[in-house]
Structure 1
Amino acid sequence: MHVFRGRAGTIEADRDVSRHLLSVADDGEPAVRVWVPHRQVAFGRRDARLDGYDRAREAAREHGFPPVERSVGGRAVAYDGETTIAFARAEPIDDFREGTDERYDRLTGALECVLEEFGLEIDRGEPDDAFCPGTHSLSAIDAQGRRRKLVGIAQRVRRGAALVAGILLVAGREELASALADVYGALGVPLTPATVGSVQAAGGPGDPARIRTAIEDALVGDDHGSITVENVGEDADDDR
């Protein structure tokens, strides 16, 4: 098992590290990365084809989020650079046509267990008009009974390797909801700001380092053999 920790010095260099996980898996070794990406709004390919894309990028900038475009589908997601966690697990596969649902289930279940251990009431799925809508999401039920999305998960599969990755909002719900509302409004994509959640708003801890460590342990699991840890750039050792 190859574990990457920390983030590289720039957004693009940091994305290169994440892309490298698939190369490690291509060589037969599973790889895990759980980190706090740089502040940004990452747009999907579908966003870039919409008439309001340029206005949405400007809206992101006005909120202080550099806009970037990622190479996969899905809608825009926002990282605040301090508390928003990204996670990814790559593994070798024999047949790219098999195992997709099982990989989704394993990673969704791992995140669900971590969040429940922090005292959250977790529900699989998401409310209507949530950010980055998708089939594989986790929501939290807060003390007022409101259902808010915390986690979005996606998967990339190619011959020889598969990568399951996602985003978890730990804190900063109000800022993220405000930025995403303007970005989605410019794109003409439905979003209800109240559906944006965070671990902290749901009654859990707002410490991303503590949660990052728990997620990494869950994604590495017990059946991993030897572990190689590679520190990349800044903040690699501050929470371990």
Structure 2
Amino acid sequence: MYVVRGSLSDVDDDRRVTRQLVSTAERTDEPTLRVWMPPRQIAFGRRDSAADGYERARETAAERGYTPVERSVGGSAVAYTGSTVAFALAVPTAGGRGGIEDRYREATSTLGHALETAGATVARGEPDRSFCPGKHSLQGDGKIAGIAQRVRRESALIGGCVLASESDERAVATVLDPVYTALGVPFDPESVGSVEGAGGTADPERVIEAVETEFIDGREIAPLSADEVLEDDRP
């Protein structure tokens, strides 16, 4: 398994590193994992771009210091504060290795075990009117994590976010409230949770370590830095 470590301060560069995971998995026929803290941004889903209030939602994000971007997986907007943990796992699918629901089930189970290792008490599901609502979520005192998936012909990218601290929880609730209002999407700020709020660590680095360890699952790894991956992606 290839494991990419580190974050980049530039939002576009950081996103390019994550996109490159798929190419690495397809080229090497090996899973490629990244667990990190993306720079501050709000990632809008495809359905957001069709909303009447989309441009206002983007302006709202920018006014609050969050770079608005569009992502290819998932539903509604997700906020990354700079200390929010993200994970992305690219897996080769040639030869019919596993289906969509199998990958969702395995990723949700693996992430749940990781958060328990980080001290949190979690369960599957999410409260009503959660951010980026979806059935592949984990909750404690509120929604802690969500998982999405994008499938290509020869690979799949499974990704998600984890809120580690209660301060991150409050920041996400505060910025998403006006963003979701602009989009016309129901949202309850009280539905946002965190690993810390569920009894676990508030340290995102410890969450990263726990998530990475669970997804590696004892495999031999080939570590890469985000800078290396970005350099390989340059024309």
TM over 0.5: yes
| Distance of 2:95 and 2:23 partners within structure 1 | 16
SS in 2 for 1:199: coil
| Distance of 1:151 and 1:198 partners within structure 2 | 8
| Distance of 1:149 and 1:181 partners within structure 2 | 15
TM-superposed deviation, 1:96: 6.0
In the TM superposition, what are the counterparts of 1:55-74 in structure 2 within 5 Å? 55-74=56-75
Give percent identity, aligned residues only.
Answer: 50
Which residue of structure 1 aligns with residue 154 of structure 2?
160
Number of residue pairs the alignment of both structures matches: 225
Which residue of structure 1 aligns with residue 204 of structure 2?
208
Q: Does the 8 Å contact 2:74/2:132 carry over to 1?
A: no
Which residue of structure 2 aligns with residue 48 of structure 1?
49
Counterpart of 2:216 (choices 200, 220, 235) is 220
RMSD: 1.6
1:191 paired to 2:187: yes
Which residue of structure 2 aligns with residue 34 of structure 1?
35
Q: Does the 8 Å contact 1:60/1:66 carry over to 2?
A: yes
| Distance of 2:95 and 2:48 partners within structure 1 | 31
Q: Does the 8 Å contact 2:115/2:210 carry over to 1?
A: no
Q: Does the 8 Å contact 1:96/1:159 carry over to 2?
A: no
What TM-score, normalized to structure 2?
A: 0.91
Q: Does the 8 Å contact 1:95/1:159 carry over to 2?
A: no
Deviation per residue, 1:160-201 (Å, 9 max, x gap): 111111000112211110100110001110000000111122
SS in 2 for 1:189: coil
- Give the structure with the larger helix fraction: 2
In the TM superposition, what are the counterparts of 1:94-113 in structure 2 within 5 Å? 94-95=94-95, 98-113=98-113
What TM-score, normalized to structure 1?
A: 0.89
Q: Please, which runs of 5 or more residues in structure 2 have no aligned partner?
A: 229-235
Counterpart code for 2:84: T
Q: Please, which runs of 5 or more residues in structure 1 have no aligned partner?
A: 143-147, 235-240
Which residue of structure 1 aligns with residue 233 of structure 2?
none
Which residue of structure 1 aligns with residue 18 of structure 2?
18
In the TM superposition, what are the counterparts of 1:140-151 in structure 2 within 5 Å? 140=140, 142=141, 148-151=142-145
